[in-house]
Structure 1
Amino acid sequence: MKHKLKFSLSLLLAILFSNIYAQKSIPDVKYPITKKGNTLDTYFGKEVQDPYRWLEDDMSAETESWVKSQNKVTQEFLAHIPYRNKIKERMTKLWNYEKYSSPTRHGEYEYFYKNDGLQNQYVLYRQKKGMDAEIFLDPNTFSEDGTTSLSNISFTKDGTKVAYSISEGGSDWRKVIVMDALSKEILEDTITDVKFSSLSWYKNEGFYYSSYDKPDGSELSAKTDQHKLYYHKLGTSQDQDKVIFGLDQKRRYVFGYITEDQQYLVINAAISTSGNELYIKDLKKPDSELICVVDNFDNDHNVIYSKGDQLYVATNLNAPNKKIISFDIDKYHPEHWLDVIPETENVLTISTGSGYFFAEYMIDAISKVYQFDPKGRKIREIVLPGVGSSSGFSGKIKDKTLYYSFTNYTTPSSIYEFDPSTGKSKLFKKPKVGFDSDAYDSKQIFYKSKDGTKVPMIITFKKGTELDGNNPTILYGYGGFNVSLTPSFSIVNATWLEMGGVYAVANLRGGGEYGKAWHDAGTQLNKQNVFDDFIAAAEYLIKEKYTSSEYLAIRGGSNGGLLVGAAMTQRPDLMQVALPAVGVLDMLRYHTFTAGAGWAYDYGTSDQSEEMFNYLYGYSPVHNVRKGVEYPATLVTTGDHDDRVVPAHSFKFASELQDKQAGVNPVLIRIETQAGHGAGTPVSKIIDQYADIFSFTLYNMGITELNAPIKSF
């Protein structure tokens, strides 16, 4: 692609680019030799080659050597970019501010998370009323390199005991430590090999957790598909833990939790990421049986509250946008359910606190929040600080004060204190960030996809930006698993905006922005809708001259990595840079790794039917890289400890691209060590990674110099 030499005035205010783009300034890339095997699979009579199957073996010395050689080539390329360190320095400076979470009360203490600025992990503090805060848990001390993170934490109802889980190197496998919360004395041996689990105490006697049997072979890639709920009795060894659910019933995801009043054990069991069975045990009756309230996987159900014999459930049964129902424990079948908060035209997310329900509705991905009592009577609309995303309003029944946060793409997340008796809010914590939010605009637009469907997108940019097609732009998307992309502030994106970049987020089908129908419209044999929505978003940005193909980058992670892989193989002419992160990229084999089979609701599987195989084969990024095609400059990113979307997806995709790429656009892969799918990644690694991503992006848009007049640069 040719690079335009004209730059917008607004961009020059942020970045002074070089006025000469010489192709020779892009260093020649000599890729490591990646051997090809002769593995051949047959699906419904069709033979499919898999030459890089050997890269799936994350335990082999050969794969380890390949990773090292690829990282070496990538780092050598990035080292040629003259402004790489400048971007890193600015991002580091912006990141260095105090960050807080909302406080929660357990026993005599309020607990909250705080990061002084550049700490790799948030520190958990606590304080009594009228006293100074003290450190309760500091994950930065768990390991020298900051790669061990604090995951779930659960207190007993009286706040005297606590169980918390840690992740090492970003893995989804966890260890659980049990501690006296008052003295901080560890009470017993560490519980190991816990995965995809909440922790829920029953009285002070023990707690429930979930896990799989440790698989044969690699714990980071081998298939795990029989989840079990265990009960750990305090003072006993882990090998005595009783299986409560999942021994006879094979389910991929099982979660158990105790209601706040300690009267019910609730179990959600699922075979995929959408739809669950619902079981309840009445703990008021010691010998009660487990009740099956819902015996199918057609809908989602979650108990949110209980009072006496009444239970309250958030469900999308006969309500695609969700509603709240209640039932008596003795009349639990769906025909006895009573609507408490009926379904509306907008998607509902519910939280509870102070004996109230707080209904957050998404209206075109923007929050509106209403307060209800348990009888479904609307108390009030909560007046939010602006247009954006709110979260919180959660607490115990006896809490007199609740907290919520508010943010959007230009406003750092602030915490508000809320009085549920009066409906009044007041600012509790506002971060001091060296970013001028008032200098930027976020604009929501609606564009039409290929089939005419109206899709929302929020575009954020510096005020005064000239729409002349010459603005470096990142288009971000996800489009899957009922996940909604709502406005939120990010230092990473703030750095991009400060450099004059445009940041656009499209709310694609497959997400949850408009309920179950919107989700289903982007699943299985409808998955192409998601890619079409994303491609149409790119075309809109180009048509309206926010950018052009020469200055467009597309980015997404996990399912969003699949999105980028599909878009760049279907329309390689549309963008200059592609940034697939921790992507699901081999659609014929994704379900054979770890818990991947649970994603079948969204994707279908290659052994499901001939029609499904042909559909997956038709868009699977690994299988749709063509020889002789000029693909965008591509930086694939993954982590060597990613046991959710195993790095083999990224390894195979990068190998295919390096082998078949035509033209000069580089194809590199950046493999982070001691890092997983994203959660718990140390701040230092995040800053390094995004400095590399932004440097790669701008450099491959023809920007060879970055002379920023921004004072803080």
Structure 2
Amino acid sequence: MFVKPALLAALLITATTQSALALDYPSAARQPVVNTYHGVAVTDDYQWLEDGDSAATRKWVAGENALSRQWLDAVPGRAALHTQINALITSNSNAYFDLVERGGVWFAMKRQPPKQQPLLVTLSNPDDLASEKVVLDPNTLSADGTVTIDFYMPSNDGGKVAVSLSEKGSEDGTLHVFDTATGKDSGDRVPRAAYPTGGGTVAWDSNGSGLYYTRYPAPGERAEADIHFYQQVYFHALGTDARKDRYEAGKDFPRIAETRLSASRDGRYLAVMVANGDGGDAALYFKNTAGGGWRKLAADADGVKNAVFGEDGYLYLLSRAAAPRGKVLRLDLRKPDLAHAQTVMAQGEGTIDHFVVGKGRLYVAELVGGPSQLLEVDLRTKAQRVLPTPAVSGVDDLAVDARGRVLAHVTSYLNPMAWYSVDDNTLNKTALAVTSAADYGDSEIVREFATSKDGTQIPLNILKRKGTKLDGSNPTLLYGYGGYGVSMTPFFSAASRVWLARGGVYVIANIRGGGEFGEAWHLAGNLTHKQTVFDDFIASAQYLEKAGYTSPQKLAIMGGSNGGLLMGAALTQRPDLYRAVVSSVGIYDMLRVELDPNGAFNVTEFGSVKDPAQFAALYAYSPLHHVKDGTAYPSILMLTGDHDGRVNPAHSRKMIARLQAANPSGNPVLLRTSASSGHGMGTALSELIDQVTDQYAFLMHELGMAIE
């Protein structure tokens, strides 16, 4: 059934030899099932692969994994590449993220290579690393490093911290409570507090005796099909049985609610943002714990997207009502009423991404087409000023303490991330800054624009070595996402250095479907307009070839999740444009995606086959249904994880089976399924390094790059 490893190694000496191989793929029987939508009969030959627990599926996956492992391990130089990538990633100094200050103590997640999972730590301040104390090291909770922290929230005095823990990337979280000073586990266990469908959050009461949390139905409360839906808010008193927790709110929330809790610093006021599915409209609920029940402050149609408590007795709202790029409103907590909201920041040229409230000022991370800038807004005069940040950088997080000190997390394509203290119109780097052995001193980032099918200008962030010749010979990797209003903002990757060191060019496209230019940019690639996303990406590939960066034989594309859908559409619509494709945890069968465990949450982004117009749009681009027999497809590597609760691994199984049956080109079509990870969150560091190595080894080999 398989090519023998020794023979495969001999055949992998050159890319041209390998490309001519016809691999002996595991047999995937065609078992036609006809599904009918609005009078249209659609045949699905591989519906049987949706059953991940069947013996036939498990045998086929094992065969695919064996073949992929043989192929990838036989790539000349892969072992050395793994060593180099491992050294680059583990050379990064400690990275701190998700900062929260409570009771004069800074809490943070700490990524500490080579530890498999991030730790939860505290610091007296961001400039004193010697004050760091470990509250919880999840690496001590499992031998294989697969227990991870999903999220955490300290009590208002900082004395306790609630932590959601899950295993193997499942994001199926149970709440635990730890003493901050000693790290001692209180013994509280609150199950069903998090899951990939709607996520999970926590907010403490005013005196730290209990916490409000998002809760999924217990067995028997709902039908099995609804067990990861109908997220509600409950209250848990510390030291009590979680089965007796008090219901708070949510009986009127939608089935696909994604609920985010927050509390004022003193715990007196609570806010709950309830989104109707991924990227859907949101409602806002409010409670004064000193008296009174929950109040609905904003309905789905009111355009409120986020709520932030200030230290000044106000609740600040990010609204997109008549402002697709966003505006900031302010409500008096003593008498909150959306009808009486004050506008403290009107819509501007940029797109408001997130913000915090300091003393008398608002600090806003504002997107400008992908990169972002940091604005300071005087809440009294409403005057604005732009604070200095590095060129083509991103302000991807903001944190504030009780005194109003603001920290900004800034990163770029060329420099590692760092937390900066915002002081009098300047940003001063704190001790929470990453150093890396990945040196991009010989590189540059340029912003250029591709023209899409309808004439829209699409920004491209092009990372390359200085002096790169535009003669069409450069191996180029084009990355995209395009969905849910998620923006492709600047990021630093130590591993990408191996690509540039071998003459590669790395390009990130800010295509529609994201939020780089506000909600209008998102909606232009949403629902029945999804084809626009693919048009933008294809235009980006064509631009890179016309501008002399690369050629079809030297161009590879990469994406994951919704970006995996993008990969599927790009390779089926224009297989001639690329030499190789890497797609991770992708969605490929658009006619059955809403039947997946997480599928209903995606209807607000993709649409439903129940709607005739939306079905027509879905069927028109669904990658699985546009694989054509006899088409010469590029080399393809797909990755998925057994514990993915966000995208059903069956999508990758069905797509690979269909491509292997259709493709006569001899280019490899491989599936790599991880038994120890899910959608990506919580993946152990060693597994992540293995995945990155396989991706680069595959791409470099297929583009004819020298790996050693």
Aligned to 1:276: 282
Is residue 446 of structure 1 aligned with residue 440 of structure 2? no
- CA RMSD across the alignment: 2.4
Deviates more, 1:564-573 or 1:340-349: 340-349
Stretch deviating more after TM superposition (590-599 or 145-154): 590-599
Q: Deviations over 1:60-112 (max 9, x none)?
A: 33322222111001011112211111211111111123122166433354334
User: Within 1, Cα distance between the matches of 2:670 and 2:676?
Assistant: 19
Give the letter aligned to residue 560 of structure 2: G
Question: What corresponds to 2:201 in structure 1?
Answer: 198
Unaligned runs of 5+ in 1: 1-17, 708-713
Look up the match of 1:4.
none
Partner of 1:78: 72
Query: C-alpha separation between the residues in 2 aligned to 1:589 and 1:631?
Result: 24
Instruction: Report the counterpart of residue 409 of structure 1 in structure 2.
Output: 413
Change (3 A) 1:614 1:434: same
SS of residue in 1 equivalent to 2:344:
strand
1:479 counterpart = 2:482: yes
Distance in 1 between the 2:248 and 2:451 partners?
Answer: 49
Amino acid paired to 2:211: F
CA contact (8 A) 2:700 2:707 kept: no
Is 1:89 matched up with 2:83?
Answer: yes
Q: Which residue of 2 aligns with 1:365?
A: 370
Aligned pair count reads 682
Cα offset, 1:422, TM superposition: 6.3
Are the structure 2 counterparts of residues 475 and 320 from structure 1 closer, same or farther at C-alpha, using a change threshold of 3 Å?
Answer: same
SS of the residue corresponding to residue 446 of structure 1 reads strand
Residues 456-485 of structure 1: per-residue CA shift (max 9 Å, x gap)? 111111112121111111100001100111
- Whether 2:307 is the aligned partner of 1:303: answer yes
2:380 is aligned, of 375, 378, 395, to 375
* Distance change in 2, residues 1:500/1:201 (3 Å): same
- Paired residue for 1:9? none
Candidates 605, 626, 640, aligned match of 1:638: 640
Distance 1:311 1:537, change over 3 A: same
Cα distance in 1 for partners of 2:67, 2:668 equals 11
Q: Provide the C-alpha distance between the structure 1 equivalents of 2:435 and 2:306, rounded to a whole number of angstroms.
A: 37
Name the stretch that deviates more: 225-234 or 456-465: 225-234
Larger relative contact order (CA 8 Å, sep ≥ 6)? 1
Asked if the contact 2:205/2:268 (under 8 Å) is kept, the reply is: no
How far, CA to CA, are the matches of 1:70 and 1:29 in structure 2?
11
Alpha carbons 1:270, 1:297 under 8 Å: kept: no
Query: Is 1:462 matched with 2:465?
Result: yes
Give SS of 2:688's match. Answer: helix
1:628 maps to 630
Secondary structure of residue in 2 paired with 1:437: coil
Alignment partner, residue 63 of structure 2: 69
In 1, distance between residues paired with 2:103 and 2:330? 29
Determine the structure 2 residue equivalent to 1:100. Answer: 95
Name stretches of at least 5 consecutive residues in structure 2 with no aligned partner. 1-11
Deviation of 1:445 after TM superposition, in Å, equals 0.5
State the match for 2:180 in structure 1: 181
The correspondence for 2:212, drawn from 208, 215, 218, is 208
Superposition deviation, residue 641 in structure 1: 0.4
Per-residue CA distance 1:253-294 (angstroms, 9 max, x = gap): 223222223232212223222210111112232xx1321112
Write out per-residue CA displacement over residues 20-75 of structure 1, whole angstroms, 9 at most, x where no aligned residue.
75425765411101123232211111111222222222233332222211100101
Sequence identity (%): 34
8 Å CA contact 1:215–1:224 kept in 2: the answer is no
> 2:273–2:307: 8 Å Cα contact kept in structure 1?
no
Deviates more, 1:335-344 or 1:545-554: 335-344
Residue in 2 that maps onto 1:568: 571
Partners of 2:645 and 2:511 in 1: how far apart? Answer: 26
How far, CA to CA, are the matches of 1:331 and 1:160 in structure 2?
Answer: 31
2:400 is the counterpart of 1:395: yes
TM-score calculated relative to the size of structure 1: 0.91
Pick one of 120, 123, 126 that aligns with 2:116.
120
Q: Please say if residues 108 and 121 of structure 2, whose CA atoms lie closer than 8 Å, have aligned partners that are also in contact.
A: yes
The residue matched to 1:438 in structure 2 has which SS?
coil
- Aligned with 1:345 (options 344, 349, 371): 349
Partner of 2:6: none
Q: 1:214 to 1:52 in 2, by over 3 A?
A: farther
Which SS does the other structure have where 1:573 is aligned? helix
Secondary structure of residue in 2 paired with 1:91: helix
What amino acid sits opposite 1:360 in the alignment? A
TM-score, structure 2 normalization? 0.91
Shift of 1:331: 5.7
Partners of 2:38 and 2:406 lie apart in 1 by 57
The structure 1 residue matched to 2:265, chosen from 248, 260, 266, is 260
TM superposition shift of 1:161: 1.2
> Does 1:509 find its partner at 2:512?
yes
Q: Secondary structure at the match of 1:628?
A: coil
Q: CA deviation at 1:371?
A: 1.6
Distance 1:94 1:544, change over 3 A: same
Q: CA deviation at 1:586?
A: 1.1
Q: Tell me the residue number matched to 1:139.
A: 138
- Structure 2 distance, partners of 1:423, 1:317, is 32
The aligned residue for residue 29 of structure 1 is: 23
Amino acid at match of 1:271: N
Contact 1:100 1:114 in 2 (8 A): yes
CA shift in 2, pair 1:554/1:379, >3 Å: closer
> Could you tell me how far 1:670 is from its partner in structure 2?
0.6
**Greater alpha carbon shift after TM alignment, 90-99 vs 539-548:** 90-99
Q: Distance in 1 between matches of 2:21 and 2:215?
A: 48
